[in-house]
Amino acid sequence: MHSVAVAAAGPMLHFELAVAYEIFGNPPLEVSEGWYDVKICGPGPMQVGPFTVEPDHGLDYLTAADTVIVPASASVDHPPPAMLVDAVREAHEAGARVVSLCTGAFVLGAAGLLDGRRAATHWAHAAELSARHPLAIVDVDVLYTDNGSVLTSAGKAAAVDLCLHLLQLDHGTAIANSVARRLVMAPHRAGGQAQFVATPIQATGDHKLAHLLAWAQGRLDQPITVTDLARQANTSPRNLARQFRSVTGQPPLQWLLAERVRRAQQLLETTDQSVDAVALATGMGTATTLRRQFKRFVGVSPAGYRRSFRATS
């Protein structure tokens, strides 16, 4: 049987821990043998949310596992426990497939497993993960990443998507879909699909572009060029580009396009405006342009995005 070790150490969130155990610990009816042997591994009984968890094995078991899953840490304000980091690193060196769910990515980062690899975590913690582990290629938008032996997911529902992705890899699409049906959810979303959340640079604050960003965000339905932005900021286009990269990490027009897409997200979520009307309201001009850019940024069509939100509202 494929052995799965769920690494439980330090302050943890119960949802991701439960997701891993539910998905890998309960075979669907179609599978009579050859499922997973799941063990909870940790230094001893621990409080996980409102529950007390008693591990089956110590962390040394991780080196014997085929797959190691690191659930979400309850806090990223402090470094993860050294014993957990060391055990995860040793498991990977021993050949285990290592998977993090949500903020569990901080454990993988501390173990050096994200260096030079694409990584995902909850969008609210992506900047901190990138700052703490600059050699990691943190993708703030995607649901999960698959680097072969190292996989990471964004938060909550994306953790389910990554677990279903692993089922698909190990047992095929039919089995993964069967488990999804048992969970009363749609078949898993592809990892490249964007997290359904808008994360704009705040227009308020004391950074040097605050007033300019607010000015542009109030005019997204209008044509705006780099020259317009530079003129409003009373600077040159070249200097403006440097300032934008410093504050937003993006060139001016890329930031502006992202803001238009985010505004489109808001309108699709909260109004019944047609795609053509949304295109005009966000400065995209035509529905064709909106569909192309929306798919590029969000990973789904505007209509598909609206259906997702209306279905869960």
In this prediction, residues 10-29 reach a mean pLDDT of 92
Cα-to-chain-centroid distance, residue 32 = 33
Q: Please name every residue paired with 12 in a beta bridge, in sequence order, or none if there are none.
A: 48, 73
In this prediction, residues 105-132 reach a mean pLDDT of 95
Enter the tokens of residue 179. Answer: 């488990």
| pLDDT surpasses 80 at 121 | yes
Give residue 187's pLDDT: 63
Q: Please name every residue paired with 306 in a beta bridge, in sequence order, or none if there are none.
A: none
In this prediction, residues 162-179 reach a mean pLDDT of 91
Enter the tokens of residue 96. Answer: 């285990």
Residue indicated by tokens 């409003």: 232
Indicate the DSSP class of residue 148.
S
Domains of the chain are: 2-182 (3.40.50.880), 210-312 (1.10.10.60)
Q: Give percent of the chain with pLDDT exceeding 90.
A: 64
| pLDDT surpasses 90 at 89 | yes
54 Cβ neighbours under 8 A, 6+ residues apart: 40, 45
Mean pLDDT, the chain, whole residue set: 89
Quick check: helix, strand or coil at residue 296? helix
**pLDDT digit string (tens) for 205-244?**
456 788 899 999 999 999 999 999 999 999 999 999 998 8
Indicate the DSSP class of residue 152.
E
**Predicted confidence band of residue 309 (pLDDT cuts 50, 70, 90):** low
The Cβ of residue 262 has, within 10 Å, a number of other Cβ atoms equal to 19
Q: Show the DSSP H helices in 220-286 as ranges.
A: 226-233, 237-248, 252-270, 275-281
Distances (CA, A) of 151 to 117, 128, 165, 284: 9, 19, 10, 35
